[in-house]
């Protein structure tokens, strides 16, 4: 690659610097970036002054390099999208009437880098992979910075591929027999409890979005690398593969936002998974675009002084691979 590249944490993640909008439409650049994404644990970032002016259509086209972009608006978030595009706004921006124009959740700001590691007492940061509650969970996400606060608002990433490789064989065998029960209703109620502006599902929406199950150990379909998987705010229980759960338990998890104690199987691993050997703290600049693979990474949001400063991010979801084979 002709551009300057920098590793983010060993073999996990690459920053490509000095990128222009014209580069993003170049077929050779696209192929090189895609190969980097797969070979470096599913995390690639592009940065360049010209990217501040990227249009929604250009961002969609760049996202399509890595997978098929989802065109469906997520339930209860229809008014938070960029008009005419499958782009969800995330941040604290509002319209002239004071109505939120972006999805926003209040989360703590990092005091220092020691806060990157998951704290079992505070249960922060909220480390997760995206949308495991869906019947076919998305393969990845694309995040673009429009407005960044002067401090805070970093996004954290962790390498689940390398973290899994370093587990002992007994733990790998144990985790390989389990699956996570993931519910959108549980997800939204849990977040709404600490961020009241966050929407919750109506009874009709809950019925239309039943819980999904995913394995705790996932083999990547292209790289064949194995990674830990299944941790999402929608994860309400962890059970042996195929085991039934009762409607009564689901009502508690969905309507009260309470996790079953079995989720501790994953939470107890989080301090290890989010240690400095496996993590990246991404400090956003306007124009930055980061693409991550949900099948080999987890990530977490961090807070900023939202009452003083604006933040606007654009997110696209990648539904599936485009039939490519890893180089």
pLDDT in tens, 89-144: 999 999 999 999 999 988 999 999 999 999 999 999 999 999 999 999 999 999 99
Helices of type H across the chain: 21-24, 27-39, 56-63, 160-165, 169-175, 184-194, 203-208, 247-256, 264-267, 270-273
Asked whether residue 201 is assigned to any structural domain, the reply reads yes
- Which strands form 235-240's sheet, in the order they lie side by side? 212-215, 178-182, 235-240
CATH number at residue 92: 3.60.130.10
Q: In whole angstroms, what is the distance from residue 275 CA to residue 159 CA?
A: 10
Predicted local confidence at residue 191, as pLDDT: 87
Residues with Cβ within 8 Å of residue 244, at least 6 apart in sequence: none
Q: In whole angstroms, what is the distance from residue 251 CA to residue 253 CA?
A: 5
Predicted local confidence at residue 325, as pLDDT: 40
Q: In whole angstroms, what is the distance from residue 209 CA to residue 212 CA?
A: 9
Asked whether residue 145 is assigned to any structural domain, the reply reads yes
Asked whether residue 123 is assigned to any structural domain, the reply reads yes
Residues with Cβ within 8 Å of residue 272, at least 6 apart in sequence: 163
pLDDT < 50 regions, the chain? 325-327
Asked whether residue 325 is assigned to any structural domain, the reply reads no
Residues with Cβ within 8 Å of residue 206, at least 6 apart in sequence: 184, 185, 254
What is each CA distance from 33 to 158, 193, 224, 233, 275, in whole angstroms? 20, 39, 19, 30, 27
Across all residues in the chain, what is the average pLDDT? 95
Predicted local confidence at residue 74, as pLDDT: 65
Asked whether residue 249 is assigned to any structural domain, the reply reads yes
Asked whether residue 326 is assigned to any structural domain, the reply reads no
What is the residue range of 107's domain? 5-320
Residue matched to tokens 């995390």:
43
pTM of the model: 0.92
The number of domains in the chain is: 1
Residues with Cβ within 8 Å of residue 224, at least 6 apart in sequence: none
> For the chain, how are helix, strand and coil distributed in percent, rounded to 5?
25, 25, 45
Asked whether residue 94 is assigned to any structural domain, the reply reads yes
How far is C-alpha 203 from the chain's CA centre?
A: 26
Residue matched to tokens 């002709």:
2
Catalytic residues: 128, 130, 299, 315
């Amino acid at each position: 690659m002709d551009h300057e590249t920098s590793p983010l944490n060993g073999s996990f993640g690459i920053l490509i610097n000095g990128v222009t909008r014209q580069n993003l439409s170049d077929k050779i650049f696209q192929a090189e970036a895609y190969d980097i994404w797969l070979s470096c644990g599913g995390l690639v970032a592009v940065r360049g002054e010209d990217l501040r002016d990227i249009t929604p259509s250009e961002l969609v086209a760049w996202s399509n390099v890595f997978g098929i972009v989802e065109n469906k608006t997520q339930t209860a978030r229809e008014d938070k999208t960029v008009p005419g595009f499958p782009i969800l706004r995330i941040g604290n921006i509002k319209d002239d009437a004071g109505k939120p124009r972006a999805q926003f959740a209040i989360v703590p700001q990092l005091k220092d880098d020691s806060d990157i590691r998951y704290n079992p007492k505070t249960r922060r940061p909220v480390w997760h992979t995206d949308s495991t509650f869906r019947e076919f969970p998305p393969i990845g996400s694309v995040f673009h910075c429009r407005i960044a606060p002067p401090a805070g608002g970093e996004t954290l990433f962790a390498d689940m591929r390398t973290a899994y490789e370093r587990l002992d064989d007994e733990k790998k065998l144990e985790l390989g027999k389990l699956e996570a029960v993931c519910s959108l209703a549980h997800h939204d109620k849990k977040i709404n409890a600490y961020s009241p502006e966050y929407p919750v599902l109506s009874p009709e929406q809950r019925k239309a979005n039943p819980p999904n199950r995913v394995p705790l150990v996932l083999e990547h379909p292209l790289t064949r690398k194995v990674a830990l998987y299944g941790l999402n705010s929608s994860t309400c229980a962890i059970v042996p593969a195929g085991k039934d759960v009762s409607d009564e338990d689901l009502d508690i998890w969905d309507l009260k936002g309470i996790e079953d104690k079995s989720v501790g199987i994953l939470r107890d691993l989080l301090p290890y998974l989010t240690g400095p050997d496996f993590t990246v703290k991404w400090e956003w600049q306007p124009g930055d675009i980061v693409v991550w693979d949900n099948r080999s990474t987890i990530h977490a949001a961090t807070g900023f002084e939202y009452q003083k400063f604006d933040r606007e991010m654009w997110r696209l979801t990648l539904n599936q691979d485009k039939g490519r084979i890893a180089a």
